[in-house]
Amino acid sequence: MSEQPLNPITAPAPVSRTADEATTADPPATGSVTDAPAGDTPVTDTHAADAPEADATTVHASATGSTAADLPADEAAALRAASFERARRLRQEPRFPGGPAADPAGSHHERRIRSFQPRRSRVTTGQQEALERLWPTWGLDIDGKRVLDLDQLFGGLPVVLEIGFGMGEATAQMAADDPGTGILAVDVHTPGQGNLLGLADKAGSTNVRVANGDAVILLREMLAPESLDGLRVYFPDPWPKARHHKRRLIQPEFLDLVAPVLKPGAIVHCATDWEPYAEQMLEVLTAHPRFENTAADGGYAPRPAFRPLTRFEGQGLDKGHVVHDLLFARV
C-alpha cells in the first residue's frame, strides 16, 4: 500500500530512490503471491523486468569461450553499461500494454524516505483482463506532469482521495453505496488495481478512478488547491519497528501537503488496528493547525457506517485487535 512522506515539499532531484536510511537503496521489489478472488486462476507475470538479466560480460564470455577476465577493461565496462541500460529500460516498461506504468514518475526520483514498497506479484487472469480493458478509461499514472481536472474526470461529482486500497473490496463497496461521490483511489500494487477495476465494473460503478504511483507527487503536483472533498487512509502500513517509524504516512509534513488541496470542512478519515500508530495519528492530527477533531472528546471516533468492515479487519477483530477511526475536519 500504500504508499509517502519524508520532506515531501522538497523539490525533486534527479537522484536514486532511497530506503531505510536516506543513503541506501531500496531492497528489490518482491514477487509475492496474492490471494486470488474466487473463480480466477492465478497466473505468473512473466514480464522480462521481473527476471534477472545476465551480465553482458558473462553472455559474451559464454559465447566466445573466454572468461570475463580475458576481456579488455574498456570492453568489459562497455558491455556492463549496456546490460544495465537494458535492465533499466525493461523496468520502466508497463507490465500490460496500455495499463499502469511500471515507473510513472521516474523523473521525480528524489532523496526522501517512502512509506511504501512497490512490489511485483502474481496477477490473476481476471485482474489482467480488467487492467487491459478498463485502465485506458478509468486508470491514470501519477507522472507529475499535469494538474488533474477532477470535474472533468468525475463528471462534476465531489471527490475524495483514498490512499492505499489493497485489493479494493472496501473501495468498490463504498463506491457502489455512494454513487454521488467520486473516489480517486491510489495504490502501487498491480493486482489490487486490476481487482478494484473489475469489482467496480461488475457493480456498475462509474465513480471510481484508479491512480498508479506515489501519492506525494499526486498531492504536491497534480491536484489543484481546494479540489478534494475528503481524504481516506485505511490501515496504512504501521511500520512497527522504531527505526522505521519515519516511514509512516501520517506525519506533519504529509499533512502540510494534504491541507491545501482539501476544501474547508473536508474530512480526513484514518483507521488503523495498530495501537501505537493510532496514538501517533491522534497526536499529529491534533497538533496540526489546519485540522480539527470531529470527536467531541478529542479522541477517537466510532466507525462511520460508510466505511465497510473488511474481511481482513474482521479477522483482526476476531484476534482481539482494536480498530481506531479518526475523523478530522480541515479548517
Tell me which residues are annotated as active site: 237
Of 63, 54, 56, nearest to 80 (Cα)?
56
Q: Which residues contact 328 (CB under 8 A, 6 or more apart)?
A: 267, 268, 285, 291, 292, 293, 294
C-alpha cell at 45: 507475470
Q: Which residues contact 132 (CB under 8 A, 6 or more apart)?
A: 96, 97, 98, 99
In three state form, how does the secondary structure of the chain look?
Answer: CCCCCCCCCCCCCCCCCCCCCCCCCCCCCCCCCCCCCCCCCEECCCCHHHCCCCCHHHHHHHHHCCCHHHCCHHHHHHHHHHHHHHHHHHHHCCCCCCCCCCCCCHHHCCCCCCCCCCCCCCEEHHHHHHHHHHHHHHEEECCCCCCCCHHHHHCCCCEEEEECCCCCHHHHHHHHHCCCCEEEEEECCHHHHHHHHHHHHHHCCCCEEEEECCHHHHHHHCCCCCCEEEEEEECCCCCCCHHHHHHCCCCHHHHHHHHHHEEEEEEEEEEECCHHHHHHHHHHHHHCCCEEECCCCCCCECCCCCCCCCHHHHHHHHCCCCCEEEEEEEC
Grid cell in block for residue 228: 478534494
